[in-house]
């Protein structure tokens, strides 16, 4: 009787089958997966005919493209802001050798990321200086290290926020060696609370925009303008990265308004409402920004050439996808939903166009509802769409799978139809 193990595919045969994977993942990675699958076949765990499939399943796939049909414009679990075509092209150009820290005219070393910093300064002309680090948490960390080592940071108890994955701003600040001087109560704080707390050991006052929640009812807060006369720097963490007021988000803090109110520094994210890559933006008084730039920790928190390229393209280029999604007219969305549903019904799919409500997400504008439209499918489609060749993530609402088109670019409508049809 012939030993079935003699039918296990040879290594060189399998390497030829997975040549494309070897070019992207490396021969060593592919060969390790092949040898592991062959060993499973020798041990009788899988049949020889299943070896190639086992190799394919074992190879790392990397991040998969996902169509965000959740209706959450800035979805943290799906990578926050999708980059614009201009930003993607900039990343591609910067992936090779680039002048990120070199002056081609003089042949000498230049300020790192000077072009991206200039674009940020132009976008927020009220800022005397600008700097970029790798995320907003890093921006707050750098502020605490530079301005409050061994000193106190005065902060309202109602602004001691926790955001995603258990991340807490108070713990971040205390990790720098700074002490927190909490003032007021969870729901109410007054100017006198801040005034009583400020003293010789105060490094700065921190105003934090509460992310992902609202406090309503018997409440009071203190505006930035009221805090500027207390004799210490005022730093405003606005979070979402809105650089100027937006008519659809009247209650969302923005960098320009905060600086005009007297904030010495503003910190914000680059990958939320700005619509760019992950980055921490620091904007404000030129001397304070320079102190941050020259602090030893700034080197550890700096961004790479790809981030700088994408940030500049976002600031200078056409409207990024986040802004397009926010500003898309709801009637246009419903027209698209109707057209897509008609195509799916023509193929025998139980689909309808429905009106619904989308959200900003990413901690921004937690109370804002965005009128939207969606393709409604039976709930069982949700899992198969997530696991499809092009993953589509919708949401379950009232027993249906909704594909909210506010967060789906029109160019992806045909992909959406193909994904549903399987």
What sign does the dihedral 332-337-340-343 (CA atoms) show? negative
Task: Summarize pLDDT for 271-329 with one digit per residue, the tens.
Answer: 999 999 999 999 999 999 999 999 999 999 999 999 999 999 999 999 999 999 999 99
Mean local confidence (pLDDT), 218-247: 93
**Range in 215-219, 345-349, 374-378 with the lowest mean pLDDT:** 215-219
CB count in 10 Å sphere of residue 52: 16
3-state secondary structure of 25: helix
CATH topology of domain 85-318: 3.40.640
pLDDT, position 382: 96
In whole angstroms, what is the distance from residue 329 CA to residue 388 CA?
A: 29
CA atoms of 52 and 34, how far apart (whole Å): 8
pLDDT in tens, 168-211: 899 999 999 999 999 999 889 999 999 999 999 999 999 998 86
Name the average pLDDT for the chain: 94
Say which DSSP state 200 is in. T
Q: Which pLDDT does position 161 carry in this prediction?
A: 85
**Residue-level pLDDT at 62:** 77
The Cα 420–Cα 258 span in angstroms is 45
pTM of the model: 0.89
Q: What DSSP letter does each residue of 100-168 carry, written as one string?
A: TTEETTTTEE--TTHHHHHHHHHH-TT-SEEEEESSHHHHHHHHHHHH-TTSEEEEEGGG--B-GGG-B
Cα gap 231→212, rounded to integer Å: 31
State residue 212's pLDDT score.
65
On the question of pLDDT at 1 being above 70, the answer is no
So what's the architecture of 66-77+323-421 in CATH? Alpha-Beta Complex (3.90)
Taking the domains of the chain in order of start, what are their residue ranges? 4-58, 66-77+323-421, 85-318
């Amino acid at each position: 009787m012939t030993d079935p193990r003699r039918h296990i595919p040879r290594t060189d045969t399998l390497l030829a089958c997975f040549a494309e994977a070897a070019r992207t993942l490396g021969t060593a990675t592919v060969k390790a997966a092949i040898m592991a699958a062959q060993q499973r076949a020798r041990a009788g765990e899988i049949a020889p005919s299943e070896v190639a499939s086992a190799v394919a399943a074992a190879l790392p796939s990397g991040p998969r493209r996902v169509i965000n049909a959740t209706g959450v414009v800035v979805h943290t679990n799906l990578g926050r802001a999708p980059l614009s075509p201009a930003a993607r092209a900039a990343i591609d150009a910067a992936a090779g050798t680039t002048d990120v820290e070199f002056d081609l005219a003089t042949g000498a070393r230049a300020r790192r990321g000077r072009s991206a910093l200039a674009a940020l300064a132009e976008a927020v002309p009220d800022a005397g200086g600008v700097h970029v680090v790798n995320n907003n948490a890093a921006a707050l960390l750098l502020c605490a290290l530079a301005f409050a080592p061994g000193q106190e940071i005065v902060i309202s108890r109602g602004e001691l926020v926790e955001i995603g994955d258990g991340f807490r701003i108070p713990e971040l600040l205390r990790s720098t060696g700074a002490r927190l001087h909490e003032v007021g109560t969870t729901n109410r704080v007054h100017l006198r609370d801040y005034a009583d707390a400020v003293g010789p050991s105060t490094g700065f006052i921190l105003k934090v925009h509460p992310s992902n929640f609202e406090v309503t009812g018997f409440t009071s807060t203190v505006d930035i303008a009221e805090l500027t006369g207390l004799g210490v720097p005022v730093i405003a963490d606005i979070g979402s990265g809105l650089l100027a007021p937006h008519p659809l988000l009247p209650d969302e803090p923005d960098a320009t308004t905060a600086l005009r109110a007297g904030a010495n520094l503003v910190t914000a994210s680059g990958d939320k409402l700005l619509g760019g890559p992950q980055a921490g933006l620091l904007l404000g008084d030129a001397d304070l920004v320079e102190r941050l730039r020259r602090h030893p920790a700034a080197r550890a928190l700096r961004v790479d050439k790809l981030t700088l390229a994408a940030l500049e393209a976002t600031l200078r280029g056409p409207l990024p996808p986040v802004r397009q999604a926010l500003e898309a007219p709801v009637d246009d969305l419903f027209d698209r939903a109707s057209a897509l549903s008609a195509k799916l019904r023509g193929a025998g799919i139980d689909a309808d166009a429905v009106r619904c409500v989308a959200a900003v997400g990413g901690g921004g504008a937690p109370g804002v509802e965005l009128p939207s439209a969606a393709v409604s499918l039976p709930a069982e489609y949700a899992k198969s769409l997530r696991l499809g060749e092009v993953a589509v993530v919708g949401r379950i609402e009232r027993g249906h799978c909704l594909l909210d088109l506010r967060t789906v670019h029109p160019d992806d409508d045909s992909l959406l139809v193909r994904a549903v049809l399987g």
